[in-house]
Amino acid sequence: MIPIDTTTRHKLYWYKPSQPSELSAIPYPLINVGKVVAQFISGRKIGKHIGLDVEEYFKRLIGESVQEHWGAKGVTLSNIGILLEQELSLNVEKILMDISREYAIVVVWPYHVENSRRLVWDDTAKVSLDFPEQTIHRLEV
């Protein structure tokens, strides 16, 4: 069974591992977004265009990291919360949806998922990732 549907407009998936060792079932390269974006930001002067710089860097990073498996080029992303930092003013859902038109994007999400399309940390979190219907799917490997 090939878990990535290459015929859909968005090849965007969330994956909730019950154990960290389960990530090895996903053959795409794993990018710790929090770590690499924090390293990128730490070397820059924080200005009003930092969000645009981070978005460009993030898109370039994915493009340079993708590998082909299951009939589609893709990556696995973990620790993506840094993209929701208020200072960056990023529309994370739109960015991921745009990238997922070209590449398979698997978001590792060990927290709560509501209605198979809303990714939240817990009931008290003020921020979440809300995707339109039919744009993000659960990855089953």
Domain range for 52 is: 12-138
Q: Are strands 104-108 and 12-15 parallel, antiparallel or unpaired?
A: parallel
**In a domain? residue 6:** no
Radius of gyration in angstroms for the set of CA atoms belonging to the chain, rounded to a whole number: 15
**In a domain? residue 7:** no
**In a domain? residue 19:** yes
**In a domain? residue 58:** yes
The tens-digit pLDDT sequence of the chain (141 residues) is 578 998 999 999 999 998 878 888 899 999 999 999 999 999 777 777 899 999 999 999 999 999 999 999 999 999 999 999 988 999 999 999 999 999 999 999 999 999 999 999 887 878 899 999 989 999 988
Cα distance between residue 73 and residue 65, in whole Å: 9
**In a domain? residue 131:** yes
**In a domain? residue 5:** no
Task: Report the pLDDT value the prediction gives residue 119, as an integer from 0 to 100.
Answer: 94
**In a domain? residue 2:** no
**In a domain? residue 1:** no
Task: Report the pLDDT value the prediction gives residue 59, as an integer from 0 to 100.
Answer: 97
State how many domains the chain has: 1
Cα distance between residue 122 and residue 116, in whole Å: 15
